[in-house]
C-alpha cells in the first residue's frame, strides 16, 4: 500500500473550512429577509453635525442688538428722547406759571421738632422773644431751621383735622350728613379765600411794599384752625364751658401771634422807607395789621360755635 494511502487511512479527515464572505457596508446579504438599518441609525445618532453645517441654521444676532446697531433706529431714539425732554420742560414751565411747585416745597420742608415748636408758639406766643425770620443769602431758611418761618404743613393738616372733628361733633349730635360736612368744609375754604383777597386788596390800596406773598398769607391765616380744633374738642369733652375757655385762650393767642408776625412784614417796610411812625400811611398800615389779627378770633368763633351744644 502506498505510504500516502496509509497516512490517509490512519489519520481522520479534517472537516473542510468554508469561507463566509464578509458583507461590505454597501452590500446586502442575500440570505437576509429584511434590511438591517441599525448600523445606519447608530452612525446617525453617534455622529454630530457641526453647527452651521447643512441642515442647521446659523445663530443670528438678537433683535435688540440688531435694532441698536441700526443707525436709523439710533437716530429715532435720540430724536424721541429730545422731544420727551422738551415736552417735560414745557409742562414744568406751564405748571410753575400757575402753581409754584418749587416754592411750595419750601413751605413743606418741616420736621417733627419744628411742628412741636410751632404748635407751642401758637398756644403760648407770650413767651417768645425773637420774631425775626432768618435769611441765608437773601433767601429765608427752611421752616425746619426757623420756627418763625411760615409753613403750609400745619395749616393743611389742621384744616383736614378740623373737618374730621366737625364731623365727629355732628355725629354725636345725630346731625351728621355728608352734605352738611361738605358745607362745613366749603364754608371754611370760602372764608379763607375771602380773607386772602381782602388783605391783598388792602395792601394794594395802602401801597405797602412788602415781601409778604399770597402763600404766606394762606399759611398765617391757616394757623387759626389749630385753636378751632382745640375749642371743639374741649367742647365735646367738657361742654360749652370747656369750649369757651379753650377757644377764648386760643383766640387771644392767635391775635398776639398775628400782631407780632405781621408787624414785621408790614410795618418793617415802612421803617425801612423812612416813613414817620405817626404818619398817615403808617397809621393805615397799623390799622390793617390790627384788622387782620382781630378777624381771626371772630372767624374762629363763627366756624365752631354751632358744633358745640
CA–CA distance, 107 with 222 (Å, rounded to integer): 13
The Cα-based distances of 225 to 110, 170, 269 in angstroms read: 18, 18, 28
Give me the mean pLDDT over the 58-64 stretch: 53
- Predicted pLDDT at 219: 96
148-186 pLDDT, tens digit per residue, is 999 999 999 999 999 999 999 999 999 999 999 999 999
- On the 0-12 / 13-18 / 19+ scale of CB atoms within 10 A, 253 is buried
Higher local confidence (pLDDT), 53 or 256:
256
pLDDT over threshold 60, residue 290: yes
pLDDT over threshold 70, residue 247: yes
pLDDT over threshold 70, residue 271: no
Helix (H, G, I), strand (E, B) or coil at 30: coil
198-229 pLDDT, tens digit per residue, is 999 998 888 877 888 899 999 999 999 999 99
pLDDT over threshold 90, residue 33: no
pTM of the shown model: 0.69
Query: In the chain, where does DSSP find H-type helix?
Result: 3-10, 38-46, 63-69, 71-98, 101-107, 112-123, 153-172, 178-206, 214-222, 224-262, 268-272, 280-302
pLDDT over threshold 70, residue 305: yes
Grid cell listed for 17:
473550512
Higher local confidence (pLDDT), 60 or 116:
116
- On the 0-12 / 13-18 / 19+ scale of CB atoms within 10 A, 297 is buried
Which range in 43-47, 129-133, 158-162 is most confidently predicted, on average pLDDT?
158-162
The answer to whether 147 and 141 are in contact (CB under 8 A) is no
Grid cell listed for 56:
442647521
| Of 36-45, 239-248, 279-288, minimum mean pLDDT range | 36-45
- Predicted pLDDT at 165: 97
Greatest Cα pair distance in the chain: 177
The answer to whether 156 and 222 are in contact (CB under 8 A) is yes
Band of the pLDDT at 102, cuts 50, 70, 90?
confident
The answer to whether 184 and 178 are in contact (CB under 8 A) is no
Residue 295, beta-bridge partner list = none
- Predicted pLDDT at 230: 97
Give me the mean pLDDT over the 106-128 stretch: 95
Core vs surface per residue 139-156: b (16+ CB within 10 A) or e: ebbbbbebbbbbbbbbbb
Element (H, E) at 210: none
Amino acid at each position: 500500500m502506498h505510504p500516502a494511502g496509509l497516512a490517509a487511512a490512519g489519520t481522520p479527515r479534517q472537516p473542510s473550512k468554508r469561507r463566509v464572505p464578509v458583507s461590505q457596508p454597501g452590500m446586502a446579504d442575500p440570505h437576509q429577509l429584511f434590511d438591517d438599518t441599525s448600523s445606519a441609525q447608530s452612525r446617525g445618532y453617534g455622529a454630530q453635525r457641526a453647527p452651521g453645517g447643512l441642515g442647521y441654521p446659523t445663530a443670528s444676532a438678537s433683535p435688540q442688538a440688531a435694532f441698536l446697531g441700526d443707525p436709523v433706529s439710533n437716530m429715532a431714539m435720540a430724536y424721541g428722547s429730545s422731544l420727551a425732554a422738551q415736552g417735560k420742560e414745557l409742562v414744568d414751565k406751564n405748571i410753575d406759571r400757575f402753581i409754584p411747585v418749587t416754592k411750595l416745597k419750601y413751605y413743606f420742608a418741616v420736621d417733627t421738632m419744628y411742628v412741636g415748636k410751632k404748635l407751642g408758639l401758637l398756644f403760648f406766643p407770650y413767651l417768645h422773644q425773637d420774631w425775626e425770620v432768618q435769611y441765608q443769602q437773601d433767601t429765608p431758611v427752611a421752616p425746619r431751621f426757623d420756627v418763625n418761618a411760615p409753613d403750609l404743613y400745619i395749616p393743611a393738616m389742621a384744616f383736614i383735622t378740623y373737618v374730621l372733628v366737625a364731623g365727629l361733633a355732628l355725629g354725636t349730635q345725630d346731625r351728621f350728613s355728608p352734605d352738611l360736612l361738605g358745607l362745613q368744609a366749603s364754608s371754611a375754604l370760602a372764608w379763607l379765600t375771602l380773607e386772602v383777597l381782602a388783605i391783598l386788596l388792602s395792601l394794594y390800596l395802602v401801597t405797602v411794599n412788602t415781601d409778604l406773598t399770597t402763600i404766606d398769607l394762606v399759611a398765617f391765616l391757616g394757623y387759626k384752625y389749630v385753636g378751632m380744633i382745640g375749642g371743639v374738642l374741649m367742647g365735646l369733652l367738657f361742654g360749652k364751658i370747656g369750649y369757651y375757655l379753650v377757644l377764648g385762650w386760643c383766640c387771644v393767642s392767635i391775635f398776639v401771634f398775628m400782631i407780632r408776625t405781621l408787624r414785621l412784614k408790614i410795618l418793617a417796610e415802612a421803617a425801612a422807607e423812612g416813613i414817620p411812625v405817626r404818619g398817615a400811611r403808617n397809621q393805615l398800615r397799623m390799622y390793617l395789621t390790627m384788622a387782620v389779627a382781630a378777624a381771626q378770633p371772630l372767624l374762629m368763633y363763627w366756624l365752631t360755635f354751632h358744633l358745640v351744644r
